[in-house]
């Protein structure tokens, strides 16, 4: 397979390269840029010296059209203009931005504050939450790869909502992310001295992943609901932990919740249901494509706490993108992704 | 004033010394230990060389009885045995452990897994949440200094619950703490390589601060409720951020919530109501006795998000203890505590 | 005393405010800016709400001239143009930039790559290494406050070089600093995700503190020498540790080195000579004006290792600046600076 | 190949598993323990659930003898007693401890403070600095895998010392390591709250890697010298950076130093000579088996600064061990180790 990455200099792009380097079916990687044509990629990222001593190429649709897969890791608002000419031209397109996730352009424009992609393209895009949408992913020409927060939230909540074990009218989701989610552009909110040794909340009730989560709950669990969703910044580079709260439906037990999660993911290699809370932590999935999850019922309040962890750059971005590529090319989902988490 | 600290080698003790060193009314500090009599304190804590080159003294009730104030910063289960002989003997007693906080010994024994203090002593102890209990603090012979999490949670929720602006039947509290809350004893859960770059949840629904929060809501807001409360470990040393969620009562607006908090704390120097979420972060209170708080209503779900930050070692422990001492001795509450947060 | 700070929004400025807030002789602080006139300072720095709710003032020489002390915490290259009109006009001037430290304008222009300040002003400035230059500091109208690295290096090396206990022809200095030394402007080299969990060397043999250190060794120890000096970035916010290496002069012992340091600093409250290496660490001085130092001889090679730690923002900047102000106004050097290091 | 790991629960063991999991020639891994027989390995290390759900086995020499390779990752002082019965019994033995590195038992006992291994075994062990000793590694029955610091120091210094480009009589080595080098046993010096945001020096002139470095300089460069070597703790988990200083030999230039390093490692895939200091940092090699190095001459002092970075757990331990295994089994050195560094 010949693979191209547009927007390789972002962290999503770096992680794609990290995994594609060891992907047995990938024979060639081209890197495309809108602004730095000819620059040696490894001169920008010293860790890739000897591994990616490749010049960045100008974005060229003829060159892109000859590839088998094109990943776009460009910012939201850019991809929606960049990709349309390529659709249906040959390569499978896997977009890591938020531009093709929301089916409703009005919602996109409201939450992202940007112009939506063309409606017909939005409509044909397939939401790439692999464990829940592999059949559609397989044949999609354009995959909208899920956001980092939605991946952790949806994988842990969808089974319980769909099985009506928890009350989906009262979903409270308190999410926490490492700083790499903010990308590689320096800013005051990523400035070491002010982020280090600091924990903060941001975008209260305004995160653009809210409509993405609600849409997916509707799509995969058949339930329309408005969620409460807040996001926090953790002074670490990688990792997301999502803590969700919901009332139990009458008569439901913790055992049923656990069994539901276990049954749902029995044959899914990247989801692990943990039964000891001490085994759940972001470092247990660091660097890997795993999503670990845990559920606990508080008998005093009859509410469930549902927790999930992922590496935001892997299962929350590049890893899931490659997992989708594997599905499309009839490879085992774990191809190129079967690595041990770093832990420390 | 002559002051004694029992259990000075813990982090609570170190912070007491940090503030008492600059307290204008404190003329002398004695440090007591059960195990290291005669050891020079600064030989254990190099940062105190030239500032606390004092030998640790054996715990001696005659010596303790001659002091004006005794702070106990010993572990829960220890203080309950240590303090009773001193009660009513002269010094004001301010206990930083959890031993005298819960009025119900059965509840203590259930949540702490230890034997409760004698009932008559529990009953005369005063819960030292300064902003809400200064009148009782003033005359108390034994103060149960609040826990770190309860301080952040209660200061931000009590006004809203008491004024019936939010539905106290559905309080979800998602709290996050720096690692120093675990104290100075090394363990696998405080081992740098496994805590650093890691975010985790612990004690799901089982934290001993749950009954403390519920008791105080009953005591100060007159409402009996069962809360959902979970705690997380943040890879940083200091700081707590509590994110609470509650449905609004019918017809209530965000403006009313903000106004309620502002009115409640108008004359309280250590509470700051923040109206821009970007101004709320644990580093804004680092090293100081401030509690900053923020409230936001999500009009889509008609729920409030109530956030508070403190330095767990200061307002959540030693700082509030000294604030209580100030109240007892008719000093301005800010005496010795009026310092600028470190921020970075 | 009425005090002004020009460049208050940098980290040096923030630390000046932190200490001046508790300085008993300071009755008023004015903050000046070249670009943000009228902006409420606390709206930029949330940790200062209620403590510094002051509008930033336009730089106005008439207003500045009425103050007792003016601190300039502006970047190198800016102060040299800003300060000259104020010299001799009334206020004592204490400059935290590098603009007035080097007596040789050619050297300044070579190492800083900027135009030097006027020669007559450079000549009358006094290098504010308090422990070594208090007599001159006392009467100076313009103080060039030392750089962060030079403070740690010089305090630990000067006594030994001056007493000819070590061979000053072969000084190797390997210095390490927290990230706050890079200031508050975001850049790739202060971007959390790329600094966190990373240790690097920078500016090999090219740091502008090299000529400052050599000049001070000449000035205070009477020795002209060329040093080897390298700097590293530590993934933490505050702190500098300098490790210096030098051959012993013939017949000299470790005991003589220790005694020399102890005798030199016997009456200097902010220098502590440590004899157990385990008591030496940047967190022992965090947030404080201390410089702790340690010396060890390797009998296998007959070389000394001389180590010093400071908080780069305090003894390495704002703290020493206030220490100099205290000297100028005949106050005890510890006035407003006598606080316990944070340690954790 | 059938592989065994004794001491798998340490960080060296965890990293061996991480790489062996993806090693194409390894078909089976057995884990051995002296104390936790029967415990499921993944129950101790949650990140390995589904990947290493294997029971720990009792140390059994018959079982060990049937393996192709046995890695020992047990503490120094333990391996020297554990391994002798296995020598010559079948499996290649690769020891990650310090027990078989020093050829002189007296030196071992002096620096380690423990009883040395039997002399005849020390003598037949081969020092596994792969790039310098592959011929001997190939046929060794017992490999003493190098220490973490020596690997970084030796790879960068040996070419220059051997070629007599620098003066080996005056080698000053200032090394810095992440905390994982201290292993997985909690202690005060690895306690998060006291290590985080702290930089310190330890074991001044007393580190047990000193004789190992000197021995290897003698062995591979033919030079007997006494070095000055100090070690520091960096508040991060992984990574070593070594900064070495040496006078140039007369007439030598920076270009010659660079050329020497480049020529030495031209055909060695894991060593990268960096010519821009900004490309040198521990995160450029994080998680990988690379050693990146950089050399710079200061024309003012005619001294060279020689810098090297490795991941202490990979090239400094498990990665180099597997590299040695590859050499022994005639596999390309990169087999199972050809992964992209994490960078962030």
CATH code: domain of residue B258: 3.30.360.10
Which of C175, C180, C200 is the best mutation test for D, with the most CBs of D within 10 A? Answer: C200
On average, the pLDDT of chain C sits at 97
Beta bridge partners of C240: C177, C310
Let me know if residue C320 belongs to a domain: no
Chain D CB contacts of C197 below 8 Å? 178, 236-239, 282-283, 286
CA-CA-CA-CA torsion for B254, B258, B259, B264, nearest 10 degrees? Answer: 140
Spatial contact of D270 and D289, defined as CB atoms under 8 Å apart: yes
What span, in angstroms and rounded, lies between the C-alpha atoms of C188 and C190? 5
Cα→Cα distances D230→A33, C199, C244, D241, Å: 45, 16, 11, 12
- CB spacing of A18 vs D342 below 8 angstroms: yes
pLDDT bin (cut points 50, 70, 90) of residue D266 is very high
A120, A162: one domain: no
B177, B116: one domain: no
Chain A CB contacts of C191 below 8 Å? 184, 186, 190-192
C236 to chain B: closest CA residue: B344
Q: C23: Cβ–Cβ under 8 A, 6 or more apart, which residues?
A: C322, C335, C336
Percent of chain A scoring above 90 in pLDDT: 98
D90: exposed, middle or buried (C-beta count within 10 Å: 0-12, 13-18, 19+)? middle
Considering only CB atoms, A237 lies closest to which of C196, C236, C237, namely C196
Separation in Å, CA of B174 to nearest CA in chain A: 7
D167, D113: one domain: no
C102, C172: one domain: no
D299, D191: one domain: yes
- Name the catalytic one among A148, A154, A160, A293: A148
In the prediction, which pLDDT does D35 show?
85
Let me know if residue A340 belongs to a domain: no
B282, B208: one domain: yes
Handedness of CA A303, A304, A305, A311 (dihedral sign): negative
Give the global pTM. Answer: 0.98
Handedness of CA D146, D152, D153, D155 (dihedral sign): positive
Active site residue A291: no
Read off the pLDDT of each residue in D56-85 and give the average, rounded to a whole number.
95
**pLDDT at residue A299 above 90?**
yes
* ipTM confidence: 0.98
Percent of chain B scoring above 70 in pLDDT: 100
**Nearest one of C310, C297, C304 to C148, comparing CA atoms:** C310
Q: What is the pLDDT of residues B220-274, one digit of tens each?
A: 999 999 999 999 999 999 999 999 999 999 999 999 999 999 999 999 999 999 9
In the prediction, which pLDDT does D88 show?
87
Let me know if residue D337 belongs to a domain: no
pLDDT bin (cut points 50, 70, 90) of residue A262 is very high
Give the domain CATH number at C79.
3.40.50.720
Read off the pLDDT of each residue in D64-71 and give the average, rounded to a whole number.
98
**Nearest one of B189, B231, A284, C17 to D192, comparing CA atoms:** B189
- CB spacing of D236 vs C301 below 8 angstroms: no
Read off the pLDDT of each residue in D71-85 and give the average, rounded to a whole number.
94
D167, D296: one domain: yes
Distance from first CA to last CA of chain B, Å, rounded?
A: 33
Percent of chain C scoring above 90 in pLDDT: 98
In the prediction, which pLDDT does C53 show?
95
A43, A93: one domain: yes
- Quote the number of domains for chain B: 2
Let me know if residue C326 belongs to a domain: no
**pLDDT at residue A35 above 90?**
no
A229, A291: one domain: yes
**Nearest one of C219, C216, C248, C214 to C229, comparing CA atoms:** C214
Let me know if residue D43 belongs to a domain: yes
Let me know if residue A251 belongs to a domain: yes
On average, the pLDDT of chain D sits at 97
B75, B120: one domain: yes
In the prediction, which pLDDT does C212 show?
98
What span, in angstroms and rounded, lies between the C-alpha atoms of D24 and D28? 11
Which of B203, B299, B301 is the best mutation test for A, with the most CBs of A within 10 A? Answer: B301
Q: What is the pLDDT of residues B163-183, one digit of tens each?
A: 999 999 999 999 999 999 999
**pLDDT at residue A162 above 90?**
yes
Active site residues of C: 148
Spatial contact of B244 and B261, defined as CB atoms under 8 Å apart: no
Considering only CB atoms, C180 lies closest to which of B14, B285, B344, namely B344
B154, B205: one domain: yes
On average, the pLDDT of chain B sits at 97
Domain span holding position C286 = 149-312
Instruction: Count how many pairs of residues, chain B against chain C, have C-beta atoms within 8 Å.
Output: 95
**pLDDT at residue B35 above 90?**
no
Considering only CB atoms, C205 lies closest to which of D204, D278, D305, namely D305
Let me know if residue C161 belongs to a domain: yes
Considering only CB atoms, D272 lies closest to which of A49, A278, A284, namely A49
Let me know if residue D135 belongs to a domain: no
Which of A40, A340, A341 is the best mutation test for D, with the most CBs of D within 10 A? Answer: A340
D160, D308: one domain: yes
Low-confidence spans in chain C with pLDDT less than 50: none
**pLDDT at residue B150 above 90?**
yes
**pLDDT at residue A26 above 90?**
yes
- CB spacing of D47 vs A284 below 8 angstroms: yes
Q: B19: Cβ–Cβ under 8 A, 6 or more apart, which residues?
A: B314, B318, B319, B322, B336, B337
In the prediction, which pLDDT does D78 show?
93
In the prediction, which pLDDT does C102 show?
98
């Amino acid at each position: 397979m010949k693979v191209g990455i547009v927007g390789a200099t972002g962290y999503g792009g770096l992680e794609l390269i990290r995994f594609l380097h060891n992907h047995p079916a990938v024979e060639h990687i081209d890197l495309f840029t809108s602004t730095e044509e000819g620059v040696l990629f490894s001169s920008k990222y010293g860790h890739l010296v000897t591994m990616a001593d490749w010049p960045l190429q100008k974005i060229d649709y003829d060159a892109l059209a000859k590839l088998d897969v094109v990943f776009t890791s460009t910012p939201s608002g850019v991809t929606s203009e960049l990709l349309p000419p390529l659709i249906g031209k040959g390569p499978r397109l896997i977009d890591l931005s938020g531009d093709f996730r929301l089916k409703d352009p009005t919602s996109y424009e409201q939450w992202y504050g940007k112009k939506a992609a063309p409606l017909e393209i939005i409509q044909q895009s397939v939401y790439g939450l692999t464990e829940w949408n592999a059949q559609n992913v397989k044949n999609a020409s354009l995959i909208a790869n899920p956001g980092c927060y939605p991946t952790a939230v949806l994988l842990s909540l969808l089974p319980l909502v769909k099985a009506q074990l928890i009350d989906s009218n009262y979903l409270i989701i308190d999410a926490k992310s490492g700083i790499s989610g903010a990308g590689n552009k320096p800013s005051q909110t990523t400035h070491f001295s002010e982020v280090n040794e600091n924990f903060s909340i941001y975008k209260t009730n305004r995160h653009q992943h809210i409509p993405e989560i609600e849409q997916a709950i509707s799509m995969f669990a058949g339930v329309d609901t408005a969620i409460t969703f807040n996001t926090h910044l953790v002074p670490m580079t990688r990792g997301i932990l999502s803590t969700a709260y919901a009332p139990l439906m009458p008569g439901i037990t913790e055992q049923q919740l656990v069994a539901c999660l276990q049954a749902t993911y029995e044959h899914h290699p990247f989801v692990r249901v943990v039964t000891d809370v001490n085994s759940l932590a972001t470092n247990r999935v660091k660097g890997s494509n795993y999503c670990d999850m845990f559920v606990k019922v508080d008998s005093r309040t009859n509410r469930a706490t549902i927790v999930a962890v992922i590496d935001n750059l892997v299962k929350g971005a590049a890893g899931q993108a490659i997992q989708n590529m594997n599905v499309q090319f009839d490879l085992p989902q774990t191809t190129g992704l079967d690595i041990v988490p770093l832990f420390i």
